[in-house]
A and B are shown apart, each in its own frame.
Chain A
Amino acid sequence: MMLKTIILIGGPMKGTRFRPLSLEIPKPLFPVAGFPIIHHHVEAAAQVEGMKEVILIGFYQPNDSLNRFITQAQQQFKIQIRYLQEYTALGTAGGIYHFRDQILAGNPDYFFVMNADVCGDFPLKEMLKFHTSKPTGTFCTILGTEATRQQSLTYGCIVENKDTNEIMHYVEKPETFISTTINCGIYLCSPSIFTPLEIEFKKNLEQNYNDDEPAFGCDYNAAPAKEVIRMEQDIFIPLASSGKLYVYITTQFWSQIKSGGAAIYANRHYLDLYHKSHPERLAQNAAGQPKIIGDVFIHPSAQVHPTAVLGPNATIGKNCVLGEGVRVRDSVVLEGAVLQDHCCILDSIIGWNSQVGCWTRIEGTPNDPNPNKPFAKIEANPTFTNDGKLNPSITVIGSDVQVPSEVIILNSIVLPNKELSGCYKNQIIL
């Protein structure tokens, strides 16, 4: 069997809720548990037998960080990886249709489609087994999971035939409750999916021609690209009940990564998955070594003083330096950051090459899912409350920020290249 995987990485205008971290590198390359988000996707894909190629589709300009990622991942997973750049944002299916010849080259039997802004313990092999057991002519299997009734409204909702797992009804972000089964943004497609894609594409084209009567004052630049196809609204909704769309439901870890807070949540779960997949990546307690509580990843090049205490859920990036008595919990410390003696980092992300002074406290407020609510997902809180105050969130320190000694930075977001001079609470610092 010959397989391919497409990872939809989006583009620079996307991922705004991930700012300021996505100002520095494309969000799909943000490291979670020590590796770029899509590294985990590629790893899951590479483990499926017959996987020949991973194609990244997006609308980022080719850049160093993406090239470096591709080179590194190709070597590590011994698989071909290519980046295909859309000329503009084509929607979640438009890019796939646009690059159909590339995708279909070599006649793959099936191909996975993975959105880059999700994370999880992806059951790709199980999906493949499930998909191949369905009648020939099946277009697509969607990975689904359970959500709470309330949270389901912010996802694509799926109603299935419980006996056959056929999708009977699909609706994207409904206003009223439809189903607690939600779309995980991971699909397994048969090449025949290009049939409905082509129909949709041509329909769009026709419509655009008909609409394109030269209306006076029409803004041509703002007109949507004719090739935009949205997988969910344009393909899944009409295909529901056609017998060609199935859902495979997982109970394993899955989450969206929209905000910085979600990255810390994802970090915790990927570290947990390492117990099974990469136990060697988890730091161990040893004499003369920093104290480790729970799951911690420390990049081999990081220098951590033996009196430091890390974890649970801490990731220390490449070339970081952590001084005496530094405490890091539920946080991600990115490459090149320096944490000086006795500082305390809780529920925060410390940006690349930032410096935190002695006895400084950097603290955020986690917005993890309610552990007492089955199937609860991370809340997508708006940045501001109704009365205009900043919603408490994790603290994010952008790259190359200098935080002085003995201050507290609480529930704040600091944009890159700042030299802070005092304490900040519940603020965005431009």
Chain B
Amino acid sequence: MKALILVGGYGTRLRPLTLSCPKPLVEFCNKPMLLHQLEALVEAGVSHIILAVSYRAEQMEKELKSVEKKLGVTITISLETEPLGTAGPLALARQHLTKDNDPFFVLNSDIICDFPFKDMIKFHKHHGKQGTIMVTKVEEPSKYGVVVYDAECGRINKFVEKPQEYVSNKINAGMYIFSPAMLDRIELRPTSIEKETFPDMAKDGELYAMELQGFWMDVGQPKDFLTGMCMYLTSLKQKNSNQLYKGDGVHGNALVDPTAKIGKNCRIGPNVTIGPNVVIEDGVCIKRCTVLNGAHIKSHSWLDSCIIGWKCVVGRWVRMENVSVLGEDVTVKDELYVNGGRILPHKSIGDSVKDPQIIM
């Protein structure tokens, strides 16, 4: 089987992290975001994965070579010379997707959930039509485009963009499985799969919806990245709790790489991910944060809802909160307060950031 992952452009929403690292390689819960999807796809029997990218990322290609070997899959990069939206890349990769008559997966690259790929195949084969999209329940459907479908069989009737009156609480979860015949609907030009292709398929009765069980999050921006991390760790606790950290000072769910060093009298968690080679000195409190490879957090600091980039140094008695994001190799001097700061790579911060702002 095959899968196409819509990686897209520069990942601007996840800056400043994506200034140093292509978004699919940014570690989410100590594993590159893309790898979460690749592993689940391979598990479901996918052997050829096409990455639809609209910019050349040498770093990514190099990284993928080792992943190919490790997972035993073929990874093809399908490069757009101009951005083709969410449907155009399917047309571009048509030659790969039509090698055989098997259905293929299409995924948005920012999605984190318990990927139900095997169930999707089953469901798709059962109804036998051109497409299946996963849907997930949301609390405030008026913020999204919702999917209206037959609760019994799953056939989609229509899509409603930001409904003012309640019609459904299910939204497109960004994961699909299609039969190759569906490709005849897509031309090689910038096209939106959500706005153009899907309504067309629904009209013809060729599109079905399957409800996703468990958690789901689009982690393409820092705030949701952290929310998604909390969900992922909660799910990990239920399914694979032996992977969670059990050292001193842990409160709730925390994922800590074995090469990380944690000092005395720290409070780690709930909902913390600490990457490889991280050093946490004595008396540090970290809650709801991701600390990436090689970062160094000095004594007595307090971090809540932050992403600490690779090789950053956070000084002593620093307070950071409110979705502050440090790019790669940022230094925050002792005793500062960073409130919702987005700090670009290689900066040294010597003054507090008392209100949310971007530090160039």
Is B15 engaged at the interface, CB distance under 8 Å to the other chain?
no
Complex CA–CA separation, A342 to B318 (angstroms)? 10
A376 to chain B, nearest CB (A): 22
Given contacts A342-B283, A361-B319, contact A410 B337 (CB under 8 A): yes
Q: Tell me whether B285 and A344 are in contact (CB under 8 A).
A: no
Q: How large is the interface on B (under 10, 10 to 19, 20 to 34, 35 or more residues)?
A: 10 to 19
B172 to chain A, nearest CB (A): 37
What residue of chain B has the Cβ atom nearest to residue A358's Cβ?
B285
A207 to chain B, nearest CB (A): 54
Complex CA–CA separation, A341 to B302 (angstroms)? 12
Is A406 engaged at the interface, CB distance under 8 Å to the other chain?
yes
Q: Which residues of A contact B316 (CB under 8 A)?
A: 309, 327
B354 to chain A, nearest CB (A): 7
Q: Tell me whether A406 and B283 are in contact (CB under 8 A).
A: no
Q: Tell me whether B283 and A344 are in contact (CB under 8 A).
A: no
Given contacts A325-B283, A342-B285, contact A359 B302 (CB under 8 A): yes
Is A346 engaged at the interface, CB distance under 8 Å to the other chain?
yes
Within the complex, which residue of B265, B302, B304 is in contact with A324, where a contact is CB–CB below 8 Å? B265
Q: Give per-residue flags for A87-106: 1 if the beta carbon is below 8 A from chain B beta carbons, else 0.
A: 00000000000000000000
Complex CA–CA separation, A425 to B322 (angstroms)? 14
Report A317-349 residues with CB < 8 Å from chain B CB. 324-325, 327, 329, 341-342, 344, 346
Is A408 engaged at the interface, CB distance under 8 Å to the other chain?
yes
Complex CA–CA separation, A331 to B350 (angstroms)? 20
Given contacts A327-B335, A344-B335, contact A361 B283 (CB under 8 A): no
Q: Tell me whether B285 and A359 are in contact (CB under 8 A).
A: yes
Complex CA–CA separation, A406 to B300 (angstroms)? 11
Q: Which residues of B contact A309 (CB under 8 A)?
A: 316
Is A227 engaged at the interface, CB distance under 8 Å to the other chain?
no
Q: Tell me whether B337 and A324 are in contact (CB under 8 A).
A: no
Report B309-360 residues with CB < 8 Å from chain A CB. 316-317, 319, 321, 335, 337, 354
A399 to chain B, nearest CB (A): 25
Q: Tell me whether A325 and B302 are in contact (CB under 8 A).
A: no
Complex CA–CA separation, A359 to B282 (angstroms)? 12
Complex CA–CA separation, A363 to B319 (angstroms)? 11
What residue of chain A has the Cβ atom nearest to residue B339's Cβ?
A408
Q: Tell me whether A344 and B354 are in contact (CB under 8 A).
A: no
Q: Give per-residue flags for A357-388: 1 if the beta carbon is below 8 A from chain B beta carbons, else 0.
A: 01101010000000000000000000000000
B306 to chain A, nearest CB (A): 14
**Most chain B C-beta atoms within 10 Å of own C-beta, residue among A309, A342, A344, A425:** A342
B285 to chain A, nearest CB (A): 5
Complex CA–CA separation, A329 to B283 (angstroms)? 19
Is B273 engaged at the interface, CB distance under 8 Å to the other chain?
no
Complex CA–CA separation, A358 to B302 (angstroms)? 10
Report A116-137 residues with CB < 8 Å from chain B CB. none
Is B86 engaged at the interface, CB distance under 8 Å to the other chain?
no
B38 to chain A, nearest CB (A): 38
Report A7-32 residues with CB < 8 Å from chain B CB. none
A85 to chain B, nearest CB (A): 46
Given contacts A324-B283, A325-B282, contact A342 B337 (CB under 8 A): no
Is B299 engaged at the interface, CB distance under 8 Å to the other chain?
yes
**Most chain A C-beta atoms within 10 Å of own C-beta, residue among B265, B317, B337:** B317
Q: Tell me whether B283 and A408 are in contact (CB under 8 A).
A: no
Q: Which residues of A contact B335 (CB under 8 A)?
A: 327, 329, 344, 346
Q: Which residues of A contact B285 (CB under 8 A)?
A: 342, 358-359, 406
Apart from A344-B317, A408-B321, what 18 extra A-B contacts exist at CB < 8 Å? Answer: A307-B282, A307-B283, A324-B283, A325-B299, A325-B300, A327-B300, A327-B317, A327-B335, A329-B335, A341-B265, A342-B302, A344-B300, A344-B319, A346-B335, A359-B300, A361-B302, A361-B337, A363-B337
Q: Sorted from nearest, which 3 A-B pairs have the closest CB atoms?
A: A325-B300, A344-B317, A359-B302
List 29 A-B residue pairs with CB atoms under 8 Å apart, sorted by A's residue number: A307-B283, A309-B316, A324-B283, A325-B282, A325-B299, A325-B300, A327-B300, A329-B335, A341-B283, A342-B285, A342-B300, A342-B302, A342-B317, A344-B300, A344-B317, A344-B335, A346-B335, A359-B285, A359-B300, A361-B302, A361-B317, A361-B319, A361-B337, A406-B285, A408-B319, A408-B321, A408-B337, A410-B354, A425-B354
